[in-house]
Amino acid sequence: AKADGRGIHRFYRAELLVGAQNRKALEDDLRHALAQNQFHLAYQPVVSTREERIVGYEALIRWEHPTRGAISPAEFIPVAEECGLIETIGEWVMRTACDEAARWPEGVRVAVNVSPIQFANPALPAIVTNALARSGIAPQRLELEITEGVFLDETASSDQMFKSLKAIGVRLALDDFGTGYSSLGYLKKAPFDKIKIDQSFVRGAAIAGNRNAAIIKAIVTLAETLGMETTAEGVELKDELALIRDLGCSHIQGYIYGKPARSEEVEKQLGNGGKA
């Protein structure tokens, strides 16, 4: 058959149009989601490799849409970032995570994902300070997870933001490490307490001949030299767990230890001493 350039063109246009309509609908629904209490946070345990204890939880936003059901943050966070709603949603996440963590035993940390757009807002330190003050949790219990995206449009203000956040006393983690363009360069620029090794490196690492294990090892060595902790993300299998332990990651997060669950579940889990 002869290739029909216009046909292909029409096909793509129709696809784009449907995409745009879905997106517009999603955006409209997103605007009401906060007021209508459709969001909640789910917490996934972060376990210390050596003692096998839960040291904290990562807060992950969940959206229960009235007709579509659960929508993944991977789908709606980018939309919220583009339409400006991430500021309000992000502030809600920060407050809720601190409030809920205040009901957990002292010393159990909570990690909150911070979008590059929030990071670029000079009001972020005040938002963090406020969330800490109203919840009463110590700054060291709050960890902010920042992706390499914050370095993309680089300004002196990102240096100032890192200083302000460290001055508050919160911990900083570099999320999804290894997926950006210049991951190594970012390490020298900011005072991170932790590197989170992206799950794409963990996936398949335990298979013989796979190069990911060597990469993880190198990241761990680098992090140790710089005095940073490492969390391997997305550990699902026993083989992966054994390998990650051998490679020396200080912390592990993944379905093997627990899926994200509501704060009430976390309180129950911690009731038995936080044994993973």
Q: Where does this chain bind ligand C2E (CB under 6 A)? A: 44, 60-61, 72-74, 77, 90, 93, 113, 115, 175-176, 234-236, 254-255, 260
Give the list of residues 6+ apart from residue 145 with CB closer than 8 angstroms, or none: 58, 111, 112, 113, 114, 173, 175, 196
Question: Would you count residue 44 as binding Ca ion (CB under 5 A)?
Answer: no
Q: Of ligand C2E, Ca ion, none, which one does residue 73 interact with (CB within 5 to 8 Å by kind)?
A: ligand C2E
Closest-CA residue to 110 (of 129, 92, 94, 133):
94
CA dihedral 165, 169, 170, 171 (to 10 degrees): 100
CB nearer ligand C2E, residue 11 or residue 64: 64
Name which of residues 176 to 235 contact Ca ion (CB under 5 A).
Answer: 176
Q: Where are the beta strands (DSSP E) in the chain?
A: 39-48, 54-65, 69-71, 109-114, 142-146, 171-177, 194-197, 229-232, 251-252
Question: Would you count residue 148 as binding Ca ion (CB under 5 A)?
Answer: no
CB nearer ligand C2E, residue 254 or residue 274: 254
Among 44, 96, 113, 263, binds Ca ion (CB under 5 A): 113
Among 29, 145, 229, 240, binds Ca ion (CB under 5 A): 145
CB nearer ligand C2E, residue 77 or residue 213: 77
- DSSP H helices, 226-262, are 238-247
**Contact assessment for residue 142 and residue 127, using Cβ atoms and an 8 Å cutoff:** no
Q: Of ligand C2E, Ca ion, none, which one does residue 219 interact with (CB within 5 to 8 Å by kind)?
A: none
Question: Would you count residue 29 as binding Ca ion (CB under 5 A)?
Answer: no
Least Cβ distance, residue 79 to ligand C2E (angstroms): 12
Q: Is 248 left (phi over 0), alpha (psi -120 to 50) or beta?
A: left
Residues of this chain that bind Ca ion (CB under 5 A): 113, 145, 175-176
